[in-house]
Structure 1
Amino acid sequence: MSDPVRGAWLGVPGWLWLWGFTAASLALFAARMARYLKVLAAARSERRWDQWPRRLRLFVVNVFGQRRLLDEPLIGTAHLIIFWAFLIYATTFGWALLRGLFPFLPVPYPDGVAWIRAALEVFALIGLAALAVAALRRYVFPPPALERSRDATLILILIAAVLISSLVGIRTASEVVRTRAWWTHMAVVLGFLAYLPYSKHMHLLASPFGVFFGSLNPGWMPAPSDGASQREQFTWRQLFNGLACAECGRCDRACPSVTSGMPLSPKALIRQIRDLVREAAPAAGLVPARVTPAQIWACATCAACSQVCPVFNEHLPVIIEARRMLVARGVIEARLQETLTNFARYGNSFGTSPRSRAKWTQSLEFRIKDARKEPIEYLWFVGDYASFDPRLQAATRAAARLFQRAGLDFGILYDAEQNSGNDARRIGEEGLFEMLREKNLTAFGKAAFKKIVTADPHAYHALKNEYFNGQRPPVLHSSELLADLLGQGRLPLNPGPETTATYHDPCYLGRYNNIYRPPRSVIETLGLRLSEMPRSGPRSFCCGAGGGRIWMEDAPGLAQRPAEIRVREAAQTGASLLVVACPKDLVMFQDAVKTAGLEDRLAVRDLAELVEERLRPEGSA
């Protein structure tokens, strides 16, 4: 087997040509990478070096195992094969390059080792098959939001050329053909390396780092700031999203705003971040020149985009930074501004006197303890909608009666309770969140309790993750508490009709806090037949209320509201009950079944109300 670099071309030794090609490739590669590193170094700092063991586990599972991609089994498997073929060929290329650059080394080329040659042949064949699957998906059966870009086509051709040139070199008996195949292989790979930082396939280099430096806390908020639009105002990790993005479109396919016809596209947002990073001296910032305020305000902060992103991009921090800037500049809908004013003036979104917060308790047959005056075990953080909205007060009273029947030692803060501030923070009003948080913490400090319970997933997330610095009391969602009380037999039930029900996972309970089982446990204990929607659990489809959207006007040209899409999906399961565990869900879905014309087919019910309906009367056997 002859050495491909031993010959000469135009009187210049082959190994010297290889040195020249390698130097040119690395120079182009390094020049663009140096620019990226300079841009990231000039951005705001952000700590992402903590919890290395956990980050390494995520890296192994999601880079080497491609876990998120495998949620779409066919294309995920094809991508996994392409990834491993790429990894193996990159390793053997490095070996072959060193051997070619230093021909005096006493080691063979990788294809001169029998078992390596066999492995390369196998991975070339299955890699080409996987590329064919990827090409069919992109050009023949493309899913929504997957574009037919020239860049993607070129990369597919380059990868195919790498595999084919290797296969030809391995299979041929001709030394001439083998030598030409070897040089073709090296030229394609070195060209690929030089081109990579200039293309969308920069994600091949950046995405492993994106996974490693991804957020370990779903729904985390960026550090307080005045907002961001210019490149240097974002953190390095927020800018890094643009380099890691594969433009696969999974975020757009999961996004309720995109599905509803709103102007937001998570993929386009990250693409604009990429352009911001790539430009030598950006003349304009992100908003409003590249992304409009309407696009920023279309987000419901459901985190579905980040949940499905295979490279762990974080769209929400970018949106929150942009919202902070827009709020500071007064670029905000009048109705949303009114809600923020209500938060500041009244401590609730309804603009109602705090003295009315506990008015719903007046029709109860018992008195709920005032947590400021009597020590209790459970502090019930009721929340705005459950307290003030007449449509929800029946469910709130049902929960109170269940707690009383179970012998729970509980109380509320009455007029001292303020809105949790979760929505104010996602709107971009960080200062208002801090004010509401401090007022609630002051009220907590005047109460003696052991645990906090709330039926509002938005409040649950804030109380559990964003309130207490250091040791915090246990925070429970009401579904967790009801499941526990039913399990202990403290809420005896009567058998009821075997109705078919489906359950909607609230974003802030499920994706944000991984609470999926307790509500289903309650539904099953009630004897209901559970029929899951296709998009359930971590893939649940948002109702569209979060991030302040519940107080905003519908975008012009809206095809249908997210809640309408969701109730139609619920009806298709054959269920007659749509069970919810979030006050905002109850409001959104009750309206949606009317506008969708599903009132005769689908009833929207709160979990606590269903439990109370099947509760055995006191004193009965």
Structure 2
Amino acid sequence: MTAVVITRHIFGGMGASQIALFYGLAIGAIAIFLAGWWRRVRKYRDGRPLVRRWWRRPEEPGTVQGVTARPSLLRSLADVLTNRPIRRRRPTVGLAHLLVFWGFLGLLLATTIVGVDYDLYGHLITGAIQGHQRSFLVGSFYEAFNAVFNAAGLAVLVGTVMLTVRRVRGREPQLRYARVDRGPTEYSRARLVEGDYLFLGLLLAILVSGFVVQGLRILGAGFPFFERWTWLGWWVGRGLSALGVTASSARLLHGYLWWVHGGMALAFVASIPFTKAMHMVSSPVNLVANDPGATRRLPPVTADHIGYAGVSDFTWKELLDFDACTKCGRCHDVCPARTAGAALSPRDVILDLRQWIDRQRRIPAILDREIRPDGTGPAAGAHGPDGTGPEVAGDVVTERALWACTTCMACVEACPVGIEHVPTIVQLRRRLVDQGRMEPTLQTALQNLAQQGNSFGKSARMRARWTKGLDFPVKDARKEAVELLWFVGDHASFDERMQSLSQALARVLHRAGVDFGILYDDERNAGNDVRRVGEEGLFELLAEHNMGVFERAQFQEIFTTDPHSFNTLRNEYPTLGLDVRVRHYSQLLADLLESGTLPARPLGLRVTYHDPCYLARYNRVTEAPRRVLRALGCDVVEMPRNRDNTFCCGAGGGRIWMDDSHLTERPSENRIKEAATLGVERFVVSCPKDFAMYSDAAKTTGHDADLVVSDLVQLVEMALEVEPLAAAVASAGDRAPAGAPAPAGGE
């Protein structure tokens, strides 16, 4: 009796001509794939080099400043393998993608094993030595191989079905492709949606046909006992048999369907560089090359690149960013400008740039381009200010979209594939600033900053006028040594609403015995927002002035009231030589309260806290303000969007200097309405701009009577009052109109 060989024959029942045809098609598909990716690789190679060293990951904010030598490769690879960025905030989508990712890797490994077994081991090695084909896909290895192979295929199938159902339902805002910056008759997103369906549909067709081919093969072979390990194909075969398919019919159908399945698989391989499938290669690479500090620490301009005007201006990482975009829409969903009705969608910015650059580089795309009714794409036929051709800042990406950005970093934080939207937008803004294309109010603010060192246009001698309302002197750090240098910031110095907050903080620090001082009229705007507006030259002037003053002053560390100043002092000034610790005042207050230096009484207030973008998202300082509130005995009710998922007030990125009357709902108003549903007494902030924006928003939304906007230091000073708390609260109510924030220090 002949022993049963536990294996299967590759190309079973095919003649030499059919096998040759398959290899010819496979070679053609691989050639198309390589040609397509070579075009893209050549595009990346032509991109400008990065100023930063991309293989080194900046140290996470919140610890010691500077850049460490710890390579990013291991953590980035872990992100790729675990799909952590995709699972973050979207666990169901993350699970579906994880199934597809690992299942696809399993299928790729299985295909590779079959190729090595048949082509390399079976023919080139043993065939040449022994004169006949051998195989290692036999016995127990063959059975285990098929069991794992089927599990991988099922994982991909389940994950793809989950993603397809989500796409077809399309109820989430990020899955809607309506333009926010152009009319529906001007552009169409239809082909982008079709491209997604092409990718998902082809993948589903390959998977389903593959399992049916397996079932037909097993049915045609009479259900060999060892094929039970090919468990999914076995049950498909049983199902086909129950439907009346005979063994002879199965063998006939298998021959036809095998070619259909193989043809679709080869077409999928060939199409990868030209469809959404390209993200399977570009996205993991982009995650590895991602720099978490790129937005916190913007690149400087060079003499030959003041902003971006054309394709050659982009770095290779930015070009890779555009190709890595999966159109998932998470950046679109979280963007405060888009929520407010502004003409900005970070997703559209990236996709428009990708399409425009690929057109310039003659890289074809299959159903992956937005089109006008006349069949053209972004900037087709448009001309820049000099009439020479499309201008990337203004024609490809509209000026309205670029100026709408608050640089809040929500898009960067939400992106699951490591795209750095904000640095690209700032580079395009630099081009607009260089050409003088900006709002008059912004131009006025920049002129004030250039002439007076502050956006208010007030004399530098008025910067420390708020100190005159104190009953003790504030040290001049230029003339005497201090332990802590307080970098006050423009709004906390000049805005009358914020001056009382600065006085309150000074009183609290004085009571705690903190040795602090300020720079008086030598302080200038730190330049964080100036830089993010795109005025790099002015940023350098402001920073150089401040650095000169720092060098003449005597202090051990810096603390600041403004999270925007905190970010640039902490992350950008070190490149100019600043080598001291920089803290936000919430961190200082938390330490003073917890050490007992400030003996505070419990307030017993029910509050919610708003995380400033530049504190929480940029620098990961989220616990210090909450430590302060806990030390004050407050009941903190978290808003749905909190910590690094906070919502922007709308003032960042220079937006506080621009007109927002065109917005359907200001971001600050959106946030106040969210807080008003929580049943809290106070809306607590830790940023001067936030105090201004949310105080106004509470009034315009009609919530100023039931939701008091308070700065963190106001609550601290309230808890330090000598009189009993009940009397203090009653006294504060007598001194302030109902619903209005009580003056700092008088509560």
The two structures have a TM-score, normalised by structure 2, of 0.79
Distance 1:32 1:198 in 2: 7
- Alpha-carbon distance in structure 2 between the residues aligned to 1:130 and 1:446: 62
Deviation at 1:618, TM superposition (A): 10
Provide the residue aligned with 2:668 in structure 1.
Answer: 563
Q: CA deviation at 1:574?
A: 1.7
Percent of residue pairs identical: 40
d(CA) in 2 for partners of 1:580, 1:387: 17
Question: How far, CA to CA, are the matches of 1:34 and 1:143 in structure 2?
Answer: 36
User: Pick from 594, 610, 617: which aligns with 1:487?
Assistant: 594
Rounded Cα–Cα distance in structure 2 between residues aligned with 1:297 and 1:123: 47
Q: Which residue of 2 aligns with 1:160?
A: 204
Report the 3-state secondary structure (helix = DSSP H, G, I; strand = E; otherwise coil) of the residue aligned with 2:614: coil
Q: Is the 8 A contact 1:302 1:508 kept in 2?
A: yes
Q: Aligned ranges for residues 66-465 of structure 1 at < 5 Å?
A: 66-70=83-87, 71-102=89-120, 104=123, 106-108=134-136, 113-147=142-176, 149-171=193-215, 172-175=218-221, 176=251, 183-217=259-293, 218-224=295-301, 225-281=305-361, 284-465=390-571
CA distance in 1, matches of 2:254, 2:676: 62
2:84 aligns to what SS in structure 1?
Answer: coil
1:251-282 Cα shifts (integer Å, max 9, x gaps):
00010011111001100100012113322448
CA–CA separation in structure 2 for the residues paired with 1:56 and 1:487: 38
Cα separation, 1, equivalents of 2:95 and 2:658: 41
Comparing 115-124 and 579-588, the one that deviates more: 115-124
Q: Over aligned residue pairs, what C-alpha RMSD do you find? A: 2.2
Output aligned runs, 1:52-71, within 5 Å. Answer: 54-70=71-87, 71=89
Counterpart CA distance in 1 for 2:404 and 2:685 is 23
Greater CA drift, 514-523 or 287-296: 287-296
Partner of residue 20 from structure 1, selected from 20, 24, 29 = 24
CA distance in 1, matches of 2:86, 2:478: 51
> Which deviates the most, 125-134 or 209-218?
125-134
| Maintained 8 Å contact 2:167/2:175 | yes
The 3 A distance-change label for structure 1 pair 229 and 146 is: farther
Q: Provide the rounded CA distance (Å) in 1 between the counterparts of 2:658 and 2:624.
A: 32
Measure the CA separation in 2 of the matches of 1:93 and 1:612.
69
Q: Distance in 1 between matches of 2:44 and 2:154?
A: 39
Question: After alignment, is 587-596 or 272-281 more displaced?
Answer: 272-281
Q: CA deviation at 1:66?
A: 1.0
Describe the shift of the 1:54–1:602 C-alpha distance in structure 2 as closer, same or farther (beyond 3 A): farther
| 1:38 matches 2:42 | yes
Write the letter of the residue equivalent to 1:579: V
The one-letter code of the counterpart of 1:168 is V
Equivalents in 1 of 2:136, 2:197: separation in Å?
A: 34
Letter in 1 for 2:653: G
- Matches of 1:555 and 1:4, distance apart in 2: 69
Tell me how far apart the structure 2 counterparts of residues 179 and 365 of structure 1 sit (CA, whole Å): 94
1:340-386 CA-partner distances (Å, limit 9, x unpaired): 00111000010000000000000101000000111000000000000
Counterpart contact for 2:562–2:687, Cα < 8 Å: yes
Q: Distance in 2 between matches of 1:589 and 1:471?
A: 33
The residue type equivalent to 1:34 in the other structure is W
Determine the C-alpha separation between the residues in 1 that align with 2:412 and 2:584: 23
CA shift in 2, pair 1:281/1:66, >3 Å: closer
Write the deviation string for residues 129-164 of structure 1: whole angstroms up to 9, x where unpaired.
222221221111431131471111111122222322
Over 3 Å counting, the alpha-carbon distance change for 1:273 and 1:587 in structure 2 is same
Aligned 8 A contact 2:79 2:85 in 1: yes
Decide whether the 8 Å contact of 1:7 with 1:13 is kept in 2.
no
Q: Is the 8 A contact 1:272 1:286 kept in 2?
A: no
> AA paired with 2:315?
T
Q: Deviations over 1:274-330 (max 9, x none)?
A: 113322448634222221111100000000001010001010111011000000001
SS of 1:78's partner is: helix
CA change 1:619–1:502 in 2 (3 A) is closer
CA contact (8 A) 2:430 2:534 kept: yes
Separation of aligned partners in 2, 1:98 and 1:370: 76
Distance in 1, Cα, partners of 2:338 & 2:724: 53
- Using the alignment, how far apart are the partners of 2:256 and 2:596 within structure 1? 78
Q: Contact 1:579–1:607 at 8 Å: present in 2 too?
A: yes
Q: How far is the alpha carbon of 1:547 from its aligned partner?
A: 0.4
Moved more, 420-429 or 92-101: 92-101
2:628 maps to amino acid: V
Measure, in 2, the Cα distance between the counterparts of 1:130 and 1:49: 32
1:605 equivalent in structure 2: 710
1:373-408 Cα distance to aligned partner (Å, 9 max, x none): 110000000000000001111111110001101100
| Contact kept in structure 1, 2:322 and 2:354, CA below 8 Å | yes
Unmatched runs of 5 consecutive residues or more in structure 2: 1-6, 58-68, 127-133, 177-191, 222-250, 363-388, 726-747
CA contact (8 A) 2:104 2:153 kept: no
Structure 2 residue aligned with 1:50: 56
Task: State the one-letter code of the partner of 2:312.
Answer: E
Paired residues of 2:37 and 2:273 also in contact (CA < 8 A) = yes
Question: Which SS does the other structure have where 2:77 is aligned?
Answer: helix
Residue type at the aligned position of 1:12: S
Deviation at 1:229, TM superposition (A): 2.8
CA distance in 1, matches of 2:566, 2:255: 66
Alignment coverage as a number of residue pairs: 616
1:166 Cα offset (Å): 3.3
Matches within 5 A, 1:478-517: 478-496=585-603, 498-517=604-623
Letter in 1 for 2:497: R
Letter in 2 for 1:338: T
Structure-1 separation of matches of 2:491 and 2:525 = 10
1:407-458, Cα deviation, whole Å (9 max, x unpaired) = 0000000000000011110000111001000111111111110010101000
User: 1: CA distance between counterparts of 2:276 and 2:150?
Assistant: 28
For 2:424 and 2:434, locate their aligned partners in 1 and report how far apart those are by CA, in whole Å: 16
Pick the structure with greater CA Rg. Answer: 2
Q: 1:312 to 1:353 in 2, by over 3 A?
A: same
- The residue type equivalent to 1:123 in the other structure is A
In structure 1, what residue type is equivalent to 2:326? A
- How far did residue 96 of structure 1 move? 2.6
Q: For the structure 1 residues 53 and 436, does the alpha-carbon distance in structure 2 shift closer, same or farther, using more than 3 Å as the test?
A: closer
Does structure 1 conserve the Cα–Cα contact (< 8 Å) formed by 2:104 and 2:152? no
Q: Is the 8 A contact 1:230 1:286 kept in 2?
A: yes
Structure 2 distance, partners of 1:189, 1:54, is 37
Q: 1:215 and 1:265 mapped to 2: Cα distance?
A: 22
Give the secondary structure class of the aligned counterpart of 1:149: helix
Alignment of 1:517-556 (within 5 A): 517-554=623-660, 556=662
Aligned-partner Cα distance in 2 for 1:473–1:359: 27
Once the two structures are overlaid, the 10-residue window that deviates more, 20-29 or 299-308, is 20-29
Query: 1:465–1:574: structure 2 CA closer, same or farther, 3 Å change rule?
Result: same
CA contact (8 A) 1:69 1:76 kept: yes
Asked if 1 retains the 8 angstrom alpha-carbon contact of 2:452 and 2:460, the reply is: yes
Q: How many Å apart are 1:554 and its aligned residue?
A: 1.6
Structure 1 match to 2:744: none
